[in-house]
Structure 1
């Protein structure tokens, strides 16, 4: 679906990002993308923002709008204050060591190390994206009501896709700290999605698993009034504190 086929509300949002940032926003399909959509803010070497999406279907309008909402937050942070969440070697190696211990004798050390790295990297990606993502979903619900039909389908699909993480078998194959934090973030996503689409049963699996209180605390952090110029960093740091992940990463300038 080329950019001109995006829903009018999405094109208006893209125009808003361009007006705020003073730079153009390019939208392109990328069939081999590992996720449904992604955003790459402009750099000194490339003076345009890029939003890429994977599937040329109707839902792509929502995926592009979601990335545009995140981009709108990013471009409002002063350039000199922008930072990236970066891995912390000690935390990464601790996860790797736990995985090596779990699978000792059943798989080789090289395989165990790769698995540990995937657990660590996956959790950091989830931490970096889920909290700001909850803010973006809620902002789109409030600001672009024309997208609510697509949004409902996307949110319900993602919640259903995440539910298997509650399977007891996952505990036997994953480091406990990683599983607990990941489930809590999925729970926050499920509880907010249930509220936005008006389907409370979406959150029942996480409620039954005992995650409601923590999930609601995480959601509240995404709704708090920012106290700094980088509200996404505030959300991520707040989530990390609640999840026991504050020492798992560092912030670095690009």
Structure 2
């Protein structure tokens, strides 16, 4: 699906980003991309933001629109205040040590370390992306009603895929802090999608598992009026506090 075939609503969003950030936004299709879509920010040498996406047919319009919404937030943060989330050695090694204890004598230390690092990196990625992502979904629902059909299909699919985290086998294999954070994050996604789409049944599994209060607290953080120039950082820090992950990362200048 070439960039020119994106739905008109997407092109309007891209124009908003260009006007807000003062730089062009280039949309590029890349068939071997691991993710459905991603953003590459402009650099001093390359004065163009790029949204790169993997062809997924018509749904690619929503994937690109979602990245455009996230990019819109980023370009409005003053350059001297932009920061990137980085891991902390202490938290990383804590997860690795827990994996070693959980599977002592069952897998090698190298396997335990590799798996622990994957869990740690995964929960940090979810922490960094999900809260701002809920904001983006809500903003797109309001700003681009033409995309609601694509959005509804994608959100329902994501909620169904995430249900695996509630299975007992996952609990046996996953470090407790990672598991609880992941379940809470997935619960927030489910309750948010249920409310946005008017489909309460989407949240029932997490409601039954007792995650409703925490999920709604997380959602409220994404809806709060920003008090600083970096609303995404506010969301991430707010979520980290609720999830017990505040010491799992630090913010650094690019």
For the superposition of Structure 1 and Structure 2, which TM-score range results when normalised by the shorter chain?
Answer: over 0.9
How many Å apart are 1:39 and its aligned residue? 0.8
1:67 alignment partner in structure 2? 67
Say whether the 8 Å CA contact 1:29–1:56 is kept in structure 2: no
How many Å apart are 1:231 and its aligned residue? 0.1
Counterparts of 1:239 and 1:56 in 2: how far apart (Å)?
31
Pairing 1:248–2:248 present:
yes
How many Å apart are 1:199 and its aligned residue? 0.9
Structure 1 stretches of 4+ with a deviation exceeding 6 A read: none
**Secondary structure at the counterpart of residue 180 of structure 1:** helix
Aligned residue pairs, count: 254
* TM-score, scaled relative to structure 1: 0.99
Counterparts of 2:219 and 2:45 in 1: how far apart (Å)?
36
Pairing 1:103–2:107 present:
no
Counterparts of 2:24 and 2:212 in 1: how far apart (Å)?
41
- Which stretch shows the higher mean deviation, 30-39 or 10-19? 30-39
1:14 alignment partner in structure 2? 14
Segments of 5+ residues of structure 2 without an aligned counterpart are none
Counterparts of 1:124 and 1:165 in 2: how far apart (Å)?
16
Counterparts of 2:171 and 2:112 in 1: how far apart (Å)?
16
**Secondary structure at the counterpart of residue 57 of structure 1:** coil
Say whether the 8 Å CA contact 1:194–1:201 is kept in structure 2: yes
Counterparts of 2:121 and 2:46 in 1: how far apart (Å)?
27
Query: Once the two structures are superposed, what CA deviation does each residue of 1:112-145 show, in whole Å capped at 9, x if it has no partner?
Result: 1000000000000000000000000000001111
How many Å apart are 1:182 and its aligned residue? 0.6
Counterparts of 2:3 and 2:78 in 1: how far apart (Å)?
28
Q: Once superposed, what is the RMSD of the aligned Cα atoms?
A: 0.7
Say whether the 8 Å CA contact 1:91–1:248 is kept in structure 2: yes
* TM-score, scaled relative to structure 2: 0.99
1:171 alignment partner in structure 2? 171
Task: Note the 1:88-167 alignment, pairs <5 A.
Answer: 88-167=88-167
Segments of 5+ residues of structure 1 without an aligned counterpart are none
